Amino acid sequence: MFDFDRWAEIGQSLKQHKLRTALTAFGVSWGIFMLILLLGMGKGLERGTMALYQDTATNSVWINGGKTSQDYKGLTPGRLVNLDIEDIAMLARLPGIDLIGPTKLVNKAYNMQYGQNIGSFQIYGIGAANAGIQKLSLQGGRQINELDERESRKVAVVGTRVVEVLMKNRIDPLGSSILVGGIPFTVIGVYKKALEEQSPNRVYIPYATLRNVFDSSPYINQIALTIAPGHTWASIRPEAVKLLAQRHRFDAQDSAALEIYDISAEVKKLQSLMTGIRLFMVIVGVGTLLAGCVGVSNTMLVTVKERTREFGIRKAIGASPSSILFMVLHETLAITLVAGYLGLLAGVGVIELVRGVGIESDYFRDPQIDLPIALGAIAVLSVAGLIAGYLPARQAVRISPIEALRHE
Amino acid sequence: MRLIHDNKMITVRNLTKSYHVGPITVPVLKGIDFSVEYGEFVAIMGPSGSGKSTLLNVLGILDRYDEGEYILNGTLIKPLSETEAAYFRSRLIGFVFQSFNLLPFKSAIDNVSMPLYYQKVPRRQRDEKARRLLERMGLADRIHHLPTEMSGGQRQRVAIARALVNEPPLILADEPTGNLDSETSEDVMKIFSEINAEGRTLVVITHDEHIAARARRVIRLQDGRITNRNLG
Ligand SMILES: Nc1ncnc2c1ncn2[C@@H]1O[C@H](COP(=O)(O)OP(=O)(O)OP(=O)(O)O)[C@@H](O)[C@H]1O
Ligand SMILES: [Mg+2]
């Protein structure tokens, strides 16, 4: 494969048309640069969007109570549906439901205190199962577990903002005690980010503890559940809604009575949007690349035409058709691969730069070109180079030596 | 392709060739018969347009012929694939042109060694051989010069070195001195005589009786036919 003489020949003939070679190569470089850039940015878009859901199980469903909008057995519309802890037990029995847990907010604001520092934060009671449905992305420590739940332990997972306010970031919060409404809670975990929350300023405690200590009513704010493998929310939903409708006395057809948020449907929608965007980018990128290759092919055709006499001489002194064919193919391939590689480097460079600068938003983060994409681009390039070279190479082979020698 | 043992470098029998210019067929070779022994030096002469170059191109397998037979070194040359043609050109024939036909972007040594490149001879051997030939042509101090940096006579000597480098038994030359002054012509023809003395077969087209006198035999062509009969 590595034929030094062949490379020397290629170098010699490319050197004769430096400017033209450079301009043609630029077309290919630009094509691959665009392709890489588009794919990398597409990845960033995808990651940014998917990161919104990174801590949430993508097979999860969230149910909140709503307000009825239809008559039901003589009851007027406009009633609030108050979900309660019995609903959890009831739904848990449905086949196809994997994890299920409550979320309950403490209505009253309690002061939290550590040493001299005081702050006021929202308290959430959650079940141990919730850790599997929407895990808090932890900076340290652990989530609330079964044992905490069963023994109604006074433990808390707090946001980084809480630590900042109460402990001024001076000590390790894990294991230390904070007073919540005067009652000491042990900090078992610190989380740094949660969905739909600007700054992490919540205090999560076990649901059982919340009921024991702050609010004994059975009402809960939200049911979170995940669907077992092999099931879909669509198949479970009718039965689940029917059970809830019977208990809370509303029409099962009343879509306002419950607010149901099916993450898998959302994720699926986003994923197909992403696939669409990626496809679009591939088409644009490959199109640009192809245009570059057509440029190469065209230039090589002109070059071959100009070098008719040279090919004639080579043939007259014994060059075989295949050696002429490979010479032109090799030359084209060399241009496309070198130019493409430079474009690839430039593309990856720009993407790394964007990454380094850390342009990041809710819908864009961490753009990257992964190895399969880079390898794919190289493969596309090689094929493109071969295609670009084939026509001119055929043209060169077809040159008859005697015609060529007459050619001035 | 067929092997024939006739013990001659070249045998041509009743060879014809026409050019097609649009709808018109122009017969150029109208039945050529001759043969060339191994080691002979033959000159081809004739007025302009008589078909000398056409004949030599056929002999050099640069062009095809229509009817008749051309047997080169015991092989019937017709019809050949491009690859086979390239093989015979590379192994049997060295061609020298009136207009030199050197590659302008290659130095003398690279031009000379090129036929060996197509025989896949390693670079060092190629360069060694090309250098020796250039030295023999009296171009020791021009080895790395480009053709544009050389005189016509020097260029033609580079071209002859190129024709000799793969040691072909047959050298074909189409008016090799046509672009040279009489003094340089004499130098070049001296080289041809030497080559012939080494045992290589030589077929040279020339307009110059003086030069033809060096040949052992002259074939005279007129209007696509050989005019001087009873040739070996
Ligand atoms: N490619 C071609 N197409 C058509 N006619 C051609 C072609 N090549 C040569 N001819 C014609 O064939 C005839 C013989 O040409 P050729 O080149 O063999 O002559 P020549 O004897 O070598 O002449 P000169 O001494 O001028 O070189 C001429 O009439 C020429 O016009
Ligand atoms: Mg001629």
pLDDT digits (tens, 9 = 90+) for A74-96: 888 888 889 999 999 999 999 98
User: Do residues A280 and A375 share a domain?
Assistant: yes
Q: Tell me, yes or no, if A325 comes closer than 8 A to chain B by beta carbon.
A: no
Please tell me what DSSP assigns to residue A136. Answer: -
User: Do residues A181 and A273 share a domain?
Assistant: no
**Residue that is last in its domain, among A187, A208, A229:** A208
CA B61 – CA B43 distance, rounded (Å): 19
User: Do residues A139 and A18 share a domain?
Assistant: no
The CATH superfamily holding the domain B2-228 is: P-loop containing nucleotide triphosphate hydrolases (3.40.50.300)
Confidence class of residue B232 from pLDDT cuts 50, 70 and 90?
very low
Is A257 part of a structural domain of the chain? no
Confidence class of residue B1 from pLDDT cuts 50, 70 and 90?
low
Ligand 1 neighbours by CB, cut-off 6 Å: B 19, 21, 26, 28, 46, 48-54
Of residues A313, A323, A400, nearest to B101 (C-beta): A313
By the 8 A CB rule, do A329 and A313 touch? Answer: no
Is A47 part of a structural domain of the chain? yes
Check B117 against A5: CB less than 8 A apart: yes
Buried b (16+ CB within 10 A) or exposed e, A31-63: bbbbbbbbbbbbbbbbbbbbbebebbbebbbbb
Is A220 part of a structural domain of the chain? no
Q: Which ligand is nearest to the CA of B47?
A: 1
Dihedral of CA atoms A224, A226, A232, A237 in degrees, nearest 10, equals -30
User: Do residues A272 and A393 share a domain?
Assistant: yes
Give B107→chain A minimum CA distance, Å.
11
Domain that holds residue A275: 4-52+268-406
Q: Quote the ligand 2 centre to B47 CA distance (angstroms).
A: 9
State the total domains in chain A.
Answer: 2
**Residue that is last in its domain, among A175, A208, A241:** A208
Is A24 part of a structural domain of the chain? yes
Is A224 part of a structural domain of the chain? no
Question: Which of A317, A320, A325, A399 best probes binding to B when mutated, by most B CB atoms within 10 angstroms?
Answer: A317
CA B7 – CA B136 distance, rounded (Å): 31
Dihedral sign of CA atoms A199, A200, A202, A208 in order: positive
User: Do residues A283 and A382 share a domain?
Assistant: yes
Please say if the pLDDT value at position A50 is more than 60: yes
Query: Which tens digits make up the pLDDT trace of A180-227?
Result: 888 999 999 998 876 566 678 889 999 999 999 998 899 999 999 999
Is A174 part of a structural domain of the chain? yes
User: Do residues A285 and A393 share a domain?
Assistant: yes
Give A334→chain B minimum CA distance, Å.
20
User: Do residues A287 and A400 share a domain?
Assistant: yes
Please say if the pLDDT value at position B215 is more than 50: yes
User: Do residues A34 and A147 share a domain?
Assistant: no
Is A95 part of a structural domain of the chain? no
Confidence class of residue A252 from pLDDT cuts 50, 70 and 90?
confident
User: Do residues A47 and A112 share a domain?
Assistant: no
Residue found by looking up tokens 């600007």 in the block: A198
Is A199 part of a structural domain of the chain? yes
Give A14→chain B minimum CA distance, Å.
11
Query: Which tens digits make up the pLDDT trace of B159-208?
Result: 999 999 999 999 999 999 988 888 888 888 999 999 999 999 999 999 98
User: Do residues A317 and A400 share a domain?
Assistant: yes
**The overall pTM is greater than 0.95:** no
Query: Which tens digits make up the pLDDT trace of A285-305?
Result: 888 878 888 888 888 888 888
User: Do residues A292 and A399 share a domain?
Assistant: yes
Report the 10 Å Cβ neighbour count for A8.
Answer: 13
Give me the pLDDT at residue B91, please.
Answer: 94
